[in-house]
Amino acid sequence: MLYDHFGRPLNSLRIQVNASCNFKCFFCHMEGTDENAVTLSPEEIEKAVMVAAKNGVNRVKFTGGEPLLRKDLEEIIARTRKHIEGDISLTTNAYFLKQRIKGLRDAGLNRINISMHSIEGDKFVDITKVDAISIVEEGIDAALDSGLSPVKVNFVVLKGINETQVNSMIDFTASKGAILQLIEYETDRKGEAVESFKKYHYDLRLIENRLAKVAESVDYNSLHHRERMHLRAKNGKPATVEFVRPQRNSDFCNHCTRLRITSKGEFQTCLNRSDQMFSFRGKDESGVLGSYKNAVYSRVPYWREADESSY
């Protein structure tokens, strides 16, 4: 296991398998990269995973773009599974999920996150530009039926758009047996000054404080020390709500144990850093290891305690 200079173990990879998406969410951070046609082959991804696994990585999340646009995602997962004993998960908009879920599971997928940023059809279209809320719901049902567990529903909270839907989303996910993951609209320091961020950013602590009063218990996801509350939905069903609250949150960064891989074949230290990219494309195993180590040892927590006072 490698540790960075801040004592953080590196045990997890977030791999961007492509950069194109069939949805056009206006707030999308594109995983910190530009839209670009370059994508890694399954073999290239496997080599990077193998090197990371030999150095202590035991969990992998696949992201995009939209990962299901890749026809070879099942092969990528199967190749990853050869090296990773722990969790392999995927985040998707679920548009193409229903017909792929069994193949993904059989390839070695353990868990899935499905993005659904509105429970109201018209707002769903406003956000994604695609009229697909019922297709996404079918995807959620298919994921639950497939036995993958847990199924998490990602909901980016946007001021003036969907923040009033949180209770309905708790009911919706609880009635299905899924976990609701509330995500803060995030950006880097420069992005905080952009008008659309100021307009739509919602302080997730307001919801956290409100739900804390009715939570039956609280625990934490070790990654990013994300708070997870267990409560009762209005419909009486047990509900779990996880909070992803990165903005100006030093605790989040202090508990970051992941490295990113971009679709272009670089190790990236942080979503908010485009100046720390360590390319491994075309390198042999020892070259990939060199890039991996350079990335790990360059990691710096992005948000520090000093940033919190100006939030």
Q: Which residues bind ligand SAM (CB under 6 A)?
A: 21, 27-29, 31, 63-64, 66, 91-93, 115, 154, 156, 183, 185-186
| C-beta of 31 vs 46, nearer to ligand SAM | 31
| C-beta of 33 vs 146, nearer to ligand SAM | 33
CB of 118 to ligand SAM, least distance (A): 11
CB of 217 to ligand SAM, least distance (A): 25
| 33 neighbors 16 (Cβ within 8 angstroms) | yes
Alpha helices by DSSP H, the chain = 42-54, 73-81, 101-107, 121-128, 133-145, 166-176, 195-200, 205-212, 250-254, 285-298, 305-308
| C-beta of 42 vs 64, nearer to ligand SAM | 64
| C-beta of 116 vs 277, nearer to ligand SAM | 116
In angstroms, the Cα distances linking 182 to 15, 47, 104, 115, 155 are 21, 33, 25, 10, 5
CB of 210 to ligand SAM, least distance (A): 20
| C-beta of 4 vs 66, nearer to ligand SAM | 66
Q: How do beta strands 217-221 and 179-184 pair?
A: unpaired
| 92 neighbors 70 (Cβ within 8 angstroms) | no
| 15 neighbors 60 (Cβ within 8 angstroms) | yes
The percent of the chain in helix, strand and coil, each rounded to the nearest 5, is: 35, 20, 40
| C-beta of 80 vs 291, nearer to ligand SAM | 80
CB of 3 to ligand SAM, least distance (A): 27
Strand positions, DSSP E, 185-304: 217-221, 226-232, 238-244, 258-261, 266-268, 277-279
CB of 91 to ligand SAM, least distance (A): 4
CB of 221 to ligand SAM, least distance (A): 15
